[in-house]
Amino acid sequence: MDEDAIERGRLLFARECRFVTGAAGLDDLPAADLPEVAFAGRSNVGKSSLLNALTGRKNLARTSNTPGRTRQLNFFDLGGELMLADLPGYGYARASRSEVRSWTRLTMDYLRGRPTLRRVFLLIDARHGLMPTDNEILDLFDNAAVAYQAVLTKADKTKPAELSDRLTEIARSLAKHPAAHPEVIATSAVRKTGIAELRAWLATLDDTESLS
Ligand code: GTP
Ligand code: MG
């Protein structure tokens, strides 16, 4: 990412960000009139923390120590330029089969039926890498024909050598998925690592002209 791109990301995220709505079903989705990006990942991977770090707000998206708290799609309008969607976490060990089914249906309907969706950022815990449930999600994304990009979270919990191995390993796995963006971004919501870079990536996706 060059300096201009970083600056565009900074300016985009200097804008006001407001919570729009939480959707428990397709009928509750907000109007699709802005370019949109979604954040997906296992329960507890750090989605809400990352959204808070990106927007510079401590409590925009609820964070919790209780995995699986966020059971709906939460939408945030970033300065009338870009819609951010926080998808419910998956892979929660204590979820029942019917919960998993309803999660899968809602997510799949959303991914397939959202014309403004530009890219899904798939969050992966830097300590664990891709887990079996993550691989199921990659298949689901491939089936929904949605473009996605991997983001490592909690990079502060890994040693530099481990982080670099993890980045290589994930890039290699994703190379088998044509809809996956080849670049993987490492972030830490605690140390704010990679946040400016991720903002810059997000700013490349907010051009309204190409919406139609
Ligand atoms: P659900 O919505 O429940 O699926 O979780 P989530 O993916 O939104 O995760 P959340 O942001 O609530 O974070 C889960 C836990 O991980 C919390 O205890 C956070 O404080 C912690 N956490 C999140 N990001 C980081 C990070 O970058 N570094 C460290 N060390 N901890 C983090
Ligand atoms: Mg959350």
Question: What's the whole-number mean pLDDT along residues 16-29?
Answer: 91
**157 touches ligand 1 (CB under 6 Å):** yes
Question: What's the whole-number mean pLDDT along residues 103-117?
Answer: 90
Token readout for 10 is: 């900074």
190 phi, psi to nearest 5 deg = -75, -50
DSSP reduced 3-state for 86: strand
Token readout for 120 is: 């899904």
Query: In testing the pocket of ligand 1, which one of 47, 49, 191 has its CB within 8 Å of the most ligand atoms?
Result: 49
Q: Is residue 208 over pLDDT 90?
A: no
In this structure, which amino acid lies at residue 22? Answer: G
Burial class (CB in 10 A: 0-12, 13-18, 19+), 57: middle
Q: Looking at ligand 1, which atom is closest to the CA of residue 43?
A: 4
Question: Is 57 in contact with 50 (CB distance < 8 Å)?
Answer: no
In this structure, which amino acid lies at residue 37? Answer: V
pLDDT at 25: 87
Q: Each residue of 162-191: b (16+ CB within 10 Å) or e?
A: ebeebbeebeebbeeeebbbeebbbbbbee
pLDDT digits (tens, 9 = 90+) for 132-148: 999 989 998 998 889 99
| Ranges of H-type helices in 118-194 | 132-144, 160-174
The upper half-sphere exposure of residue 211, i.e. CA atoms within 13 Å in the direction of its Cβ, equals 16
pLDDT at 125: 97
Residue with tokens 């664990």: 128
Q: Looking at ligand 1, which atom is closest to the CA of residue 157?
A: 30
Q: Is residue 212 over pLDDT 80?
A: no
* Least confident among 55-64, 110-119, 150-159, 182-191: 55-64
pLDDT digits (tens, 9 = 90+) for 174-200: 999 989 999 999 999 999 999 999 999
Question: Which candidate, 19, 23, 1, places its Cα nearest to that of 10?
Answer: 1
**CA of 94 relative to ligand 1 center, distance in Å:** 18
Which is higher by pLDDT, 88 or 198? 198
Which is higher by pLDDT, 33 or 69? 33
Q: Is residue 66 over pLDDT 60?
A: no
Question: What's the whole-number mean pLDDT along residues 102-108?
Answer: 86
In this structure, which amino acid lies at residue 183? Answer: E
DSSP summary character for residue 30: P
Token readout for 28 is: 């509750």
Give the predicted TM-score (pTM) of the model. Answer: 0.93
Q: Looking at ligand 1, which atom is closest to the CA of residue 65?
A: 18
**190 touches ligand 1 (CB under 6 Å):** yes
Query: In testing the pocket of ligand 1, which one of 47, 55, 63 has its CB within 8 Å of the most ligand atoms?
Result: 63
CA 211 – CA 66 distance, rounded (Å) = 38
Question: What's the whole-number mean pLDDT along residues 111-120?
Answer: 94
**CA of 211 relative to ligand 1 center, distance in Å:** 33
